[in-house]
Structures are given as structure tokens and as C-alpha cells.
Amino acid sequence: VQLQASGGGSAQPGESLRLSCTTSGFTLDVHAIGWFRQAPGKEREKISWISISDDITECTDSVKDRFIISRDNAKNTVYLQMNNLKPEDTAAYYCATGPNNLKLGCAWWNFVGSWGQGTQVTVSS
């Protein structure tokens, strides 16, 4: 199981980026997928995850109403739409697989199975 995050880059405050999570070797439509990020010297921050039936669990207030997770099974891709970017959003972003169990809530992250290479997002003016 390999995941690949892409779509990162540089942005100015207030701009938007859309990250993509794709896979090799399996299809995403049978997996719950989540996004997390990690900035240098900081703890991993769990953002949100999406079930196979498109139910979304958000796990941090720092991106509330700015970041939106979605999936397009036809394209075998899960997205993270990031709007109104702030300098504190600067981090490496990763996608991960986990169990499709809504009852876990944000404890889902304790059961994450695998993640791949991240994509760097840098927000500065």
C-alpha cells in the first residue's frame, strides 16, 4: 500500500492550494483516508479523515472552515482543498489510510495503517 501526496508548493497568505492523495497498487474507494501535517519542531497535527461513504471527521480547529477534505473515487483521489492559507499552515502534508469506522472519531488516527511521501506547503508573503 503506497500513498502519494502532491499539489503542495508556495502560496501567499489568503491564497488557496489543493492537495491530492493518490495510490499505487490499490483503489482508494475501499479505504478511509485522512490528512495530517507536520511542521519542523512541531508535533504531528491531524487534520481530518473521510470515510468510504464521504462522511467527514474533522480533528483540529486550526483549519476549521478553511480546509475541506473530499474524494473522487472515479479518479482514485482524495483531496484537501486549503483556502485562506496562513503562514502557520506551513508544513509537510501527508495522507494516510485507516479503518472505515465512524465511531472512532478522531481516535481514528491511533489506527492509521500507512502513509507515503508528503508534499510541502509553504505560506509566506
First to last CA, the chain: 37
Predicted pLDDT of residue 25 = 77
Predicted pLDDT of residue 2 = 81
User: Which residues have a Cβ under 8 Å from the Cβ of 112 and sit 6 or more positions away?
Assistant: 34, 96, 97, 98
Predicted pLDDT of residue 1 = 65
Predicted pLDDT of residue 123 = 98
Q: Which three cell numbers stand for residue 33?
A: 483516508
Predicted pLDDT of residue 108 = 96
Q: What is the pLDDT along the chain (125 residues), one digit of tens a residue?
A: 689 999 999 999 999 999 999 987 788 888 999 999 999 999 999 999 999 999 999 999 999 999 999 999 899 999 999 999 999 999 999 999 999 999 999 999 999 988 888 999 999 99
